[in-house]
Amino acid sequence: MSTRLNQVAPEPGGGGGNADLSVDQDKLGAIGTAAYGLHGRLVKDGNHARTTTTEAATGMSSHGFRTGAAMSTVQETWNSQLNTLLDACANISNHLDYSAASHAREEADIQAALTASKINEYFT
């Protein structure tokens, strides 16, 4: 028995068609800004019911209602998912800030190298 993988034949010349790796600083900035804004709103709004929910769950549990334990579980699950989302937004924002700065440095290095190579033409 053998395994066969189906795939599309590669384009002549090795490329992936019109694929091009490019970075648009404005788009990266907009996505990073949106992630940062979402993070800020989630920090503010994501915890607004924490105290009330915890108090309600404690009160119900102390009076023997099973709903109190269920509400406590919902609060813990919400908190865990909120923290996961906060971490994801922070990672996106931080990564895009780093990527934008890194690409700007690389662009400056490439531009400097090209400028220096043109200067060398005049010395030979």
What pLDDT, on the 0 to 100 scale, is given for residue 96? 78
Distance of CA 59 to the CA centre of its chain: 39
Tell me how far apart the alpha carbons of residues 55 and 102 are, in angstroms, rounded to a whole number: 48
Dump pLDDT digits (tens) for 45-76. Answer: 888 888 899 999 999 999 999 999 999 999 99
Q: What is the mean pLDDT of residues 38-49?
A: 88
Pair of tokens at residue 74: 């919902």
Residue type, 69: A
CB-based burial of residue 1 (10 Å sphere; 0-12 exposed, 13-18 middle, 19+ buried)? exposed
Each residue's pLDDT tens digit, 104-123: 788 777 877 777 776 667 66
Q: Token digits for 70?
A: 């269920």
